[in-house]
Amino acid sequence: MNSSQYKALLVVVTLLAVAGFSTAGYIAYTAPAASSSSGGSTSAFLSALIKNATAEGQVTVYAPYTPAQVQALASAFQQAYPKITVNGIPYDTATLLNKWSSEVSSGKGIADIIIGGATATYYAGLQTHSEMFFPSPEYQYYPYIPYGTDNGWWGPTPIVQVFAYNTNELKGSQIPTGFSDLAAKVQANPAFWNGKIAVVDPRQDFASFAVLYSWLDRYGNSTFWNWIATYAKDGMVAVSSDGALLQGIASGQYLVGFAPYFGDVFSYIEQGAPVGIIYPSEGAVVGVGGFAISSVAPHPYAAELFMNWLLSKAGQLALAKDAGAFISFRTDISSSDMAAVVGFTPPTFSYSSSNAWPPLLNGTQVTPLPETPLQQQAMIGYQSEFASQFTQAMTGTPPS
Amino acid sequence: MKSVTFIFLALLAITVLLVLTPLVMILYASFTNIQPGLVGAVTTENYVRIFQQGSLISDAEETFLISIGAVVFSLAIGVPLAWLVAQTDIPHTKFLEGAIFSTIVVPPFYVGISWIFLFANGGLLPTFTKFLFDRPIALDVFSLTAVILAEGLSGAAVIFLFSLVTLKSIDSSLLEAAMICGANQSTIARKIVIPLLQPTILLGVILVFVRTVEDFGTPALLGSGKIFTLATAMYFSLSSQSFTGIPRYGVSAAIGIFLLLIIILPLVLGRRIVYRGGRSFYLVSGKGSKIRRKNLRAFRYVAFLAALIYVLFSSVLVFGATLIRSFYVFVGGPVTLSNYDALIDVPLITRSIVNSIILAVAGAGLTMLFGLGLSYVSHRTNVRGRSLLDILGAVPTIIPGLVLGLGALWFWSFTPLLSSLIAVIVTVMIRFLPYSLNTLAASFDSIDISLDEAGRVIGASLPTTFRKITAPLMRNGFIYGYSILYGYFMIELATPLFLAGATTEVMPVVAYIYTIDGFYGEASAIVMVNMLMILPVILFLWRQRKSALLATPISV
């Protein structure tokens, strides 16, 4: 081969490698046998794990849930393993990931395990990883996990970002079905909606940026910014967090807001707040709530036991009950199992073709968060421009 | 080597280590691209990056705008209030003095939180006005104006404090003499009152400016992702607003260096102006000069009402709105105690309460004891170079809490004590060392050294002289300093923000996180408990208002 043929071969190999890496997120996972790593049966593997974890006595969990949710999860775990204390650290996703990466990079770990949020979505493809791979025996129940085994990140539960509305103020046809419908309603009766629409400020909250970016990516700049500008013209309010948005909706200050995590919305509903949930017709944004054990975990066995418990049926139902993760990728959990735990029939995922991601939510299409490393890099690179465009759109004029 | 010299050298070494290490570490961090605890190549990339981003200038502009706005606002409120209380017949002066003094330990950060609870969309005011009038009335608390007002309200107490001390010490005979000579009110103000006020007000202005420049909590909360100061830019370059995969500590440190420079400049300039030509100033007290108060006639009640409005906004509303909010999960919902249940049920919160108590009780005590050692050697011995202790001990005055926190994080990362409460306590100790030295220096200066010498003449050793003579005489000063430090340790947000690890969170940090995340119910319960813990200090300040000036790190 001459040099140009070598170059061509190099380009092809590089493209194939990039393509392979980019699609790694979609490869169905074949669970490793727990026995192969432990050298014995699953029960022997677990017994040894429990013994080692109990000797460590504690586990520090980073979780972008509400403090109450983290505590409820910790209590549920401690019911099963009373000799292990759980230190739950409930910050926002990006803060936790920054802390996490800093610890992994410096080799000085505080966290043992990180769970929930869109952690896997944001993180899995971005960096060179040194998370610890844990061959849980529970993985056999997760044939459709949309992440590979190469980096130690696992996504057993989806996260779903939705619209929320005030059930006292909006009834029947007043309830918007999504972006387009809301824009039409605002144009038809601007006075009614003035100052009553809220959005989690994407300039302030990375998760909100990622969610809004997903819609922009799917529907294009023009359509997306026209929606935002239409609402902004009539006084849409940008708030600092999901919590602030739901507080405003519960107290009646806002009639509708986007796009909180559906688990947070349900926690308000559970507390009796007049809050309802809308799965927008443009597709709720769906990502993957990831789990990972730190390679510098101070309590690695306790972390493995915690992860194993979270992946178990009991753990997944506890996640549903306590942290609003009403959908599980675990195959032996049915809708009725979930309904029995949470008190209502939650939405379900189905797959249009075998193992295809993203799935359908209640039979309708969803809007996936950027999944592959290339998509994520594009999203990160767009962050500052998005902030400028959002600022422009908030004046009521869509950015050009 | 004499034992006193040995103690001096030991104290000097510890002070150098404590005070200068964080500064050296943050400077080092700003020239590297690595994570804390690692050693890497030196690079100027962080400085290049912050200049290329272009936000440094706008962040610095907003920092100046907010700080100057806060200074102007605090002068506009603080000086007239001090004049009303010191020189006029406004009613209930003792009450007003105590009430205004006591607000000095209410952080502007908590004023900001209470405004969110009260005025913001979803807050108490819009919810109840909607209930009453079917139309919510909300105020835009997430704005530059709100940040300036919150900072200015807090700063007004400092200006009031500094102005009042001088105004009270002006001998009425000076003013009467001027009047006899034919001077009118404006001439008296221009030629006598303002020149006398100038040095103390200028120091107050510097203190308010510095406090505002370095404040993180208020612009972080009320800036709401739209307004960035250097302090908030420094923190947010590592957190949720700029998730980049790997935190850029170097960038944050480089911003911190600029923050440091912005604080050093006015401090140096201010002190030069005040002490130009070798001037020095003393508080005149004890002469018992009679102040002839100006008769305001009916206006005295209007003035009293205005002063009350200040007290209302700076402290009563802060407590009131937070207390009411703490009984709701969401405003408009049922009244509940569940937010207080979280104080016990959520380990993060319970732990932060315990940590704050340990930090305040032990940290304040250790700071006072260490300050006592420094002050004793500096004020009661003749060891050569002893003034170095005072100079080094005052250095933390110029280090913003966030800068100190980040520098300390780097230092502790090289030790096994990272993420320990010891690291947090020692770092906050450094922050408040100047307060301790200021209080103790005043105590030492008030005790005639001849008493010590008399003790030594009759054969008592240095420790015995201290134990039997000096310590009993300065006990009140020590208790006063400890109380003030306890309050400051309890409410400190910026310094522990970077250091708070998995088990070392303190209440202000947790309150900040809960507020940012919109868990207003739990946040208000945490703030209430935190404020209850500083209530004894507030009441103490109320009673001890004559010496409240010592609650600042700058001596007159």
Judged by CB atoms closer than 8 Å, whether chains meet at A105 and B136 is answered as no
Residue B470 lies inside a defined structural domain of this protein: yes
- Phi, psi (5° rounding) for residue B190? -70, -40
Range scoring the smallest mean pLDDT among A318-332, B264-278, B309-323, B360-374:
B264-278
The mean pLDDT of B102-123, rounded to a whole number, is 82
Q: Does A217 touch chain B (CB under 8 A)?
A: no
Q: Which residue has the higher pLDDT, B326 or A264?
A: B326
Encode pLDDT of A166-207 as tens digits.
Answer: 999 899 999 999 999 999 999 999 999 988 899 998 887 778
- The helix (H) or strand (E) run that includes residue A59 is strand A58-62
Q: What is the CATH number of the domain that holds B97?
A: 1.10.3720.10
> Residues 79-98, chain A: which have Cβ within 8 Å of B?
87-95, 97-98
Of A17-21, B395-399, B434-438, give the lowest mean pLDDT range. A17-21
Residue A155 pLDDT: 75
pLDDT value at B350 more than 80:
yes
Predicted confidence band of residue A122 (pLDDT cuts 50, 70, 90): low
* Chain B closest-CA separation from residue A35 CA (Å): 33
The reply to whether B225 and B353 lie within a common domain is: no
Instruction: Tell me, yes or no, whether B537 and B406 share the same domain.
Output: yes
Higher pLDDT pick, A300 / B288: A300
CB contact under 8 A, B240 and A252: no
- Write out pLDDT tens, residues B204-252: 898 899 999 999 989 988 886 678 899 988 887 775 444 455 567 888 9
Per-residue model confidence (pLDDT) at position B141: 82
Model confidence at A91: pLDDT above 60: yes
Q: Is residue B539 included in any domain, yes or no? A: yes
Q: Looking at residue A188, what is its pLDDT?
A: 94
Q: Is residue A225 over pLDDT 80?
A: yes
B117 interface with A at CB cutoff 8 Å: no
Residues B17 and B59 in one domain: no
**Tokens, residue B255:** 């911003």
Alpha helices in chain A (DSSP H): 3-22, 34-38, 42-56, 67-80, 93-106, 119-123, 179-188, 190-193, 206-219, 221-233, 242-250, 262-270, 300-311, 313-323, 335-342, 373-393
Pair (B403, B374) in one structural domain: yes
CB contact under 8 A, B246 and A110: no
Mutate which of A87, A194, A204, A247 to test chain B, going by most B C-beta atoms within 10 A?
A247
Domain count for chain B, please give it.
Answer: 2
**pLDDT at site B366:** 96
In the prediction, which pLDDT does B66 show? 95
Q: Please report the residues numbered 285 through 344 in chain A whose beta carbons come closer than 8 angstroms to any beta carbon of chain B.
A: none
- Note whether B96 and B238 are same-domain residues: yes
A292, β-bridge pairs: A114
Place of tokens 């003393």: B282
Nearest CA in chain B to A247: B330
Name the strand (E) or helix (H) holding A349: strand A349-350
Looking at 3.40.190.10, 2.40.50.140, 3.40.50.10490, 3.40.50.10860, the CATH number of the domain A34-159+286-363 comes to 3.40.190.10
Nearest CA in chain A to B333: A273
Q: Do B121 and A254 touch (CB under 8 A)?
A: yes
User: Tokens 């946040």, residue?
Assistant: B523
- Partners of A154 in the β-ladder: A291
Q: Which of A236-245, A301-310, B321-330, B449-458 has the lowest mean pLDDT?
A: B449-458
Q: A249-273: per-residue pLDDT in tens?
A: 988 878 999 999 888 898 888 888 8
The nearest CA of chain A is from the CA of B93 a distance in Å of 41
Measured in angstroms, the CA of A59 and the nearest CA of chain B are apart by 10
Q: Nearest Cβ partner of A98 from B122, B136, B239?
A: B239
Report residue A2's pLDDT band, with 50, 70 and 90 as the boundaries: low
Residues forming CATH 3.40.190.10 domain(s) in chain A: 34-159+286-363, 160-285+374-393
Tell whether B345 is covered by a domain.
yes
Percent of chain A, pLDDT > 90? 33
Could you tell me which residue, A116 or B17, shows the higher pLDDT?
Answer: B17
Mutation for testing the A interface, residue in B240, B242, B519 having most A CBs under 10 Å: B240
Mean of pLDDT values over B412-438: 90
**Does the pLDDT of residue A42 top 80, yes or no?**
no
The answer on B343 and B316 residing in a single domain is no
Question: Please, are residues B330 and A251 in contact by the beta-carbon 8 Å criterion?
Answer: yes
Tell me the mean pLDDT in the region A273-284: 93
Alpha carbon distance A286, A288 (integer Å): 7
Q: How far apart are the first and last CA of chain B?
A: 36
Contact with chain A for residue B235, Cβ under 8 A? no
Tell whether the model's pLDDT for residue A20 goes beyond 50: no
Amino acid at residue number B221: L
Question: Residue A130: what pLDDT?
Answer: 59
Place of tokens 């990160």: A380
Closest CA to B117 of B27, B221, B252, B253: B221
Query: What percent of chain B lies above the pLDDT cut of 70?
Result: 91
Model confidence at A85: pLDDT above 80: yes
Question: pLDDT grade, residue A15 (50/70/90)?
Answer: very low
Return the DSSP state at A282. T
**Candidates A71, A89, A246; nearest CB to B345:** A71
Alpha-carbon gap: B35 to the closest alpha carbon of chain A (Å): 6
Q: Three-state DSSP class for A114?
A: strand
Q: Binning pLDDT at 50, 70 and 90, where does residue A19 land?
A: very low
User: Is residue B263 assigned to a domain?
Assistant: yes
**Contact with chain B for residue A381, Cβ under 8 A:** no
Q: For chain B, positions 382-421, list CB contacts with chain A under 8 A.
A: 413, 418-419
- Is the CB of residue B50 less than 8 Å away from at least one CB of chain A? no
Q: How confident is the model at residue A161 (pLDDT cuts 50, 70, 90)?
A: very high
- Per-residue model confidence (pLDDT) at position A125: 45
Give the residue from B292, B322, B352 where a domain finishes: B322
> Could you read off the pLDDT of A299-322 as tens digits, one per residue?
999 999 999 999 999 999 998 888
Q: Is A68 on the interface with B (CB under 8 A)?
A: yes
- C-alpha angle B291-B296-B301 in degrees, rounded to nearest 5: 115
Position B383 pLDDT exceeds 90: no
| pLDDT 10s digits, B20-47 | 999 999 999 999 988 787 788 899 989 9
Partners of residue B294 on adjacent β-strands? B88
- B91 and B18 co-located in one domain: no
Contact A133, A113 (CB under 8 A): no
* Lookup: tokens for B135: 């139309």
Enclosing domain of residue B271: 50-322
Distance from C-alpha of B415 to C-alpha of B397, rounded to nearest angstrom: 26
Supply the pLDDT for residue A353.
Answer: 64
CB–CB contact A101 B346 (8 Å): no
In chain B, the residue whose alpha carbon lies closest to the alpha carbon of A129 is: B245
Q: Do A67 and B349 touch (CB under 8 A)?
A: yes
Contact of A383 with chain B, judged by CB distance below 8 Å, is answered with yes
Q: Clarify whether residues B27 and B101 are in a common domain.
A: no
pLDDT tens-digit map of B147-185: 999 999 989 998 998 888 888 877 777 777 787 888 887
Q: In the prediction, which pLDDT does B532 show?
A: 92
Rounded to a whole number of angstroms, the CA Rg of chain A reads 22
Give me the mean pLDDT over the B123-134 stretch.
81
Nearest-by-Cβ selection for B419 from A110, A254, A383: A110
Contacts of B413 in chain A (CB under 8 A): 106, 108
Q: How many distinct helices (H) and strands (E) make up chain A?
A: 16, 12
The more confidently predicted of residues A156 and B263 is: B263
Q: With cut-offs at 50, 70 and 90, classify the pLDDT of residue A109.
A: confident
Q: What is the DSSP letter of B54?
A: S
Separation between Cα atoms, residue A287 and residue A368, nearest integer Å: 6
Q: What is the pLDDT of residue B530?
A: 94
Q: What pLDDT, on a 0 to 100 scale, did the predictor assign at position A32?
A: 39
Q: How confident is the model at residue A25 (pLDDT cuts 50, 70, 90)?
A: very low
Mean pLDDT (chain A, rounded): 80
Same domain, yes or no, for B284 and B410?
A: no
Whether B107 and chain A come into contact, CB under 8 Å, resolves to no
- Could you tell me if the ipTM is greater than 0.90? no
Per-residue confidence (pLDDT) for residue A21, from 0 to 100: 34
What pLDDT is stored for residue B549 in this prediction? Answer: 55
Quick: pLDDT tens for A333-368.
Answer: 888 898 898 888 888 887 766 556 778 888 888 998
Query: Residue A117 corresponds to which amino acid?
Result: G
pTM to 2 decimals? 0.81
* Residue B45 belongs to some domain of the structure: no
The per-residue pLDDT for A323 is: 82
Cis previous bond, A143, omega within 30: no
Strands A285-293 and A367-368, sheet pairing: parallel
B238 in contact with chain A, both atoms CB, cutoff 8 A: yes
Q: Given this structure, which CATH class describes domain A160-285+374-393? A: alpha beta
Do residues B294 and B384 share a domain?
no
Same structural domain, B530 and B487: yes
Band of pLDDT at residue B546, cut at 50, 70 and 90: low
* CB A134 within 8 Å of CB A32: no
Same domain assignment for residues B298 and B411: no
User: Percentage of residues in chain B with pLDDT exceeding 90?
Assistant: 34
Please tell me the distance from the alpha carbon of residue A28 to that of residue A155, in angstroms, as a whole number. Answer: 12
For residue B504, CA distances in Å to A15, B346, B354 come to 48, 15, 10
pLDDT at B168: 81
**CB of B516 less than 8 A from some CB of A:** yes
A253·B238 Cβ contact <8 A: no
Which range has highest mean pLDDT (A376-380, B186-190, B239-243, B493-497)?
B493-497
Average pLDDT over chain B, rounded to an integer: 84
Burial of B365 (0-12, 13-18, 19+ CB in 10 A): middle
* Domain assignment of residue B38, yes or no: no
Contact residues, chain B, for A250 at CB < 8 Å: 122, 330-333
**CB within 8 Å: B224 and A201:** yes
- Residue B329 in domain: no
**Residue B14 pLDDT more than 70?**
yes
Separation CA A187–CA B471 (nearest Å): 76
Q: Is residue B80 part of a domain?
A: yes
Whether B58 and chain A come into contact, CB under 8 Å, resolves to no
The confidence score (pLDDT) of residue B281 equals: 58
User: Residue B282: pLDDT above 70?
Assistant: no
Note the pLDDT of residue A176. Answer: 97
